[in-house]
Chain A
């Protein structure tokens, strides 16, 4: 089963991530990948570019982290401890795709893992790393098979191992599969997990670029971020930045997607800055008889937006100004007859369950929010519960906790109350509008 693609192109200069995908959507093996210029970027870079040149290209490209954080990948690379005074470290690919509503990295890894491998080797070259790990969630069984196959092909062909492509650079990659827990996607928790520990986040500083896995400089990048590197190395940072020409300052294209109550959920590669309305159109619009009530622009840890926000460009700054985050860029669409209270309860239950338990606001605050939301959902909320939820969201927000998990939970909670306060009020006991006290079950159409 492969994800539906809204549109395809075989043009590498407009669709650097997807142009090599097969029509039958099967595995692109090494021979086919190389036939379509695969590993060309690696060969030219090893021959013609210094690590500093590649990092400069990455900075010019303004490729912002595709795992949801949106931090400039070039800037991250420029902060890695490199040079003779530092040991060679690691490139860790964050393939722990678990953000609710996100299914893009799965496609890249199942269909074209050689693109990820090429990106990781280039990242290794730029950051003076000696080895790469792909931290893949355990449930992605097919992706694991395909990645292992691609790694074996690359080793056999001399693309991985000593003297990569007959250069002086040596680099190898291992696949590390996880055993569950969303928190592993937090980069320092991921490093702890890679080291065989509980996935509690680490204190920063030091940042992983200074001291990460086993105390060595470590760069953690998302799958899609790394898959963008070969095209940037081959065509240059300026070309990549211009891909989004005029629509956004953020560089390049992105795998966007739509799920929820639309006619045809799926994925598409489009320039940064495309609008939510365009995406929704590509997904065939809402299912018959349904209207759009609200949407999450990029996963469960992003804020709710309204239909009027559909015209905004999907880019980090514009979505941020609207009170949400671009996140992973995959829209979750909610229909007019679905309860925002129920959906918020579902999201907070997710975050409560997935809290690693390390710090108090997150470990205790999230289950408390679930308790309040459940009461409101049943129409048994008490006076003051909504204010308590708002206060809770504030107290688990940015700067109050060890990592971004609880702030990620706070954003949908805060924005749900901000935009749909009347739905919450209807769930308060003795509310004036008692007639609306029964929330509509979310699954009913």
Chain B
């Protein structure tokens, strides 16, 4: 009910503007790197005070307002009818909205995010799902999931699943999944499928009491929320294991600090305690890893990260500068240079020891 009221409030703001003979407008935080600030209460990065005004004074602004209203009305009706849709479905449904129709799905996705920001609600509360599925999980944990038929099913993420692991659903809130039994020491979030499968095959989850989570590149919201819940509710330390390039650092940043695109819900998605395990530029030197030369885009991205407040710590500044100096990048799987077991028997144990996770 509360969500519907918040959606109506948007309509009311515009309606009131019109009855007061004012040009209708809405204001939302500016969604750009320049406008994210560290929130010390939650230890995450959120939007700052800079606002953008969407006003019916311009044609583009008027279209935005009209579309905002249509999306709000659409969500309202979904809630009333207890339905849900994917973002893509909403984009196709907008075909029938006449002037309010979207020209690309990017526009409609972005507007859904705007609505989250304006109402303070979550996309899940809007009953909008992303296309991307959540990632895979393997480890000594029992998850109780409410299936679509309404029954509660317990799933042991080693014994009840195949090698592909447990698949994270788009809703990972308490009404959907609960963590029942856990016998593990930490969460290891892995960027690439190849490395995830390597650790599974080598039995790393069992040998080192780890819960392995596959991030699948830039992680979906549900994956990030899932990791956050494991960290905050179950007090499990989280380590992020990625390639050694600027794009992978952004994957880590979105897990630990929040993404710029979703900075309005950073406190809900980000795991500030998550730590970057590697592969670091120092590792390239220390482990003498095979490398590639940085591309122009890589260098540009690294330089941009130097001005990104999320990478403001000494650790990141030193590592990024080192990488620019080396002019090299590397991959997780480059560790195979020393054999297939090297990563599970030497590299990860050594790195985890540095973080105090393992004793000699």
Chains A and B come from one and the same complex = no
* Interface set of B (CB-CB < 8 Å, partner A): none
